[in-house]
Chain A
């Protein structure tokens, strides 16, 4: 279970970082979301992975640490609000600059290559 869990966190984070480095706001927002999923799973794992345990000491042989669960809950709520804000800001960028490039406009040299790349996605 630990290996699968770690691989999932790694995949989510790597995909998130890759998408954040893209030049358009939509992949960046998706990347931020994936990164926050990865982080939330990571935070959850910091209390060690326990199956069938209760979050109260003494009630079962192995207990599940309740604190990371509370932290994850807080992180999810904050991450949700922040994602909503980032989406609104991306829409505002699209409306203001008529382009969803993260710099508001495409870089001046080689505009063709950028366009093709955008179209193929």
Chain B
């Protein structure tokens, strides 16, 4: 039992508690401590990535209660990948938040760190009910974060977001209850072992529970019929919050991948590959909807928010293929899209601050003060998001296209993905050329000059598009190994047999 496994939960928890108590301390102290917490978290997740890279499962049993009776944390390649991705995104968002966002509220850093704690619990947990608790922790922090910032424009989107997620939580509890009533367990490894043995009369109950879980995770991931809350909520959130929320939809994606390959995967007997064909169709519809939304966006933030939905559709379409190659390609694309979308939210905020009353609307305005730097950052972000060569988005989409086998699925995926990319290109070109090229004479009286931290934060996230290309070899080797580990579900069942007594306590 390795105690390092709990570090990504404890570090933001302790850092957040400190922030709660020092709300009236000088802001420089709060900023230093908060950023130190995030850096420490980043270091611990990299340590876990190195640990997980040997391909074995590591288990942390709370209170030394053996699974399936106690709650366990399970570290595997997928969990480590999600942790590192979140920590890098969180570091840059946090760096950006220190610019000005955190002045509006004394609890900003505490909420931000609790949000990270909730995310990390969700990625590490090996228990379905604990996943529910993690969702609630990250959601209640996100409710607070969404309300950050001046003005009243966030109230209504927040209200919709809260009500929708509370209803989603109710559905989650109902499906968890259904699954428990049939299998008598909520430990994921134990569920994977027991689901194939469920008797025929109980099967419909389990099937209903499983499909309701898909609805709940679909709400978190924002797939088509459940995605209309997202553009308004993300479009109105302050930039670092919106950037961090780029990972929120990936929690839903992660939960779908975890539950529907492990518990309802190919080894689930009568319920094998439950919901997979639904997922593929809905994912393509989501992708189309996202592209339509991006084409119709009237301001840059909304455009990026629709990009989140496009990426969810692309990710789930690749996972919906139900193959190892598809999942591997989806994980590669996920790294690209999460960082780039987060970076674009930050860049757009910098652009908005230099355009006076035009803010981020796609209209002509006086030229920006730092137009060269900002336009290059926007160009890199847009090229990576659309998937044009030579940046990471191109390779990610290429991997997804390559993962299909000839047939109806291939025809659908290729046509929707390539057509969607083309129209996304039009949306970004239109927005970029109006904002950067069609400028009018005159100048904006009070512009925000770029400071070093915000430039580093926005530039750092966007330049991940180049980093991913440079490290494409190791990253694709890692995601291939992750997908292989995911699909070899029988290995996961060993979680139940691992000795939990800590040696040399």
Contacts and interface: CB of A to CB of B under 8 A. Distances in A.
B356 to A, nearest CB: 25
Given A43-B177, A96-B155, A74 B129 contact: yes
Contacts of A38: 170
B50 to A, nearest CB: 34
Size band of the interface chain B makes with A = 20 to 34
Contacts of A46: 177-178, 180-181
Given A43-B173, A46-B177, A89-B158, A81 B152 contact: no
Contact of B160 (A40, A42, A82, A102): A102
Contacts of B136: 78, 82
A8 interface: no
Nearest to B157: A104
B46 interface: no
A6 to B, nearest CB: 13
A46 B177 CA distance: 6
Interface stretch (B161-169, B306-314, B443-451): B161-169
Nearest to A43: B177
B149 to A, nearest CB: 13
B385 to A, nearest CB: 30
B170 A39 contact: yes
A32 B178 contact: no
Nearest to B179: A46
Given A75-B173, A78-B133, A25 B167 contact: no
B293 to A, nearest CB: 19
Contact of A90 (B152, B159, B181): B159
Given A28-B163, A68-B180, A82 B155 contact: no
A85 B140 contact: yes
Interface in B133-157: 133, 136, 140, 143, 147, 152, 155-156
Contacts, number: 86
Q: Decide if the interface of chain A is mainly helix, strand, loop or mixed.
A: helix
A81 B129 CA distance: 18
Given A46-B178, A78-B133, A35 B167 contact: yes
Nearest to A96: B152
B283 to A, nearest CB: 27
Contacts of A71: 129, 173, 176-177, 180
Contact of B159 (A67, A78, A93): A93
A20 B180 contact: no
Interface in B92-148: 129, 133, 136, 140, 143, 147
B467 interface: no
B208 interface: no
Nearest to A36: B170
Contacts of B156: 93, 97, 102-104
Interface residues of A, number: 35
Contacts of A28: 163
A86 interface: yes
Nearest to B156: A104
B181 A20 contact: no
Nearest to A25: B159
B162 A85 contact: yes
B398 interface: no
A85 B120 CA distance: 23
B477 interface: no
Contacts of A89: 143, 147, 155, 158-159, 162
A86 B162 CA distance: 7
B174 interface: yes
Given A35-B170, A39-B174, A67-B180, A97 B162 contact: no
Contact of B166 (A40, A67, A86, A102): A86
A48 B152 CA distance: 48
B167 A82 contact: no
Nearest to A70: B129
Given A74-B133, A78-B133, A104-B156, A20 B177 contact: no
Given A74-B133, A97-B152, A97-B155, A39 B140 contact: no
B63 to A, nearest CB: 14
A82 B159 contact: no
B389 to A, nearest CB: 43
23 contacts: A28-B163, A32-B166, A32-B170, A39-B177, A43-B173, A47-B180, A67-B186, A71-B129, A71-B176, A71-B180, A75-B173, A85-B140, A85-B143, A85-B162, A86-B162, A89-B158, A89-B162, A92-B155, A93-B156, A96-B155, A97-B155, A97-B156, A104-B155
Q: Which 10 A-B pairs have the closest CB atoms?
A: A46-B181, A96-B152, A104-B156, A46-B177, A43-B177, A96-B155, A39-B170, A39-B173, A78-B136, A93-B155
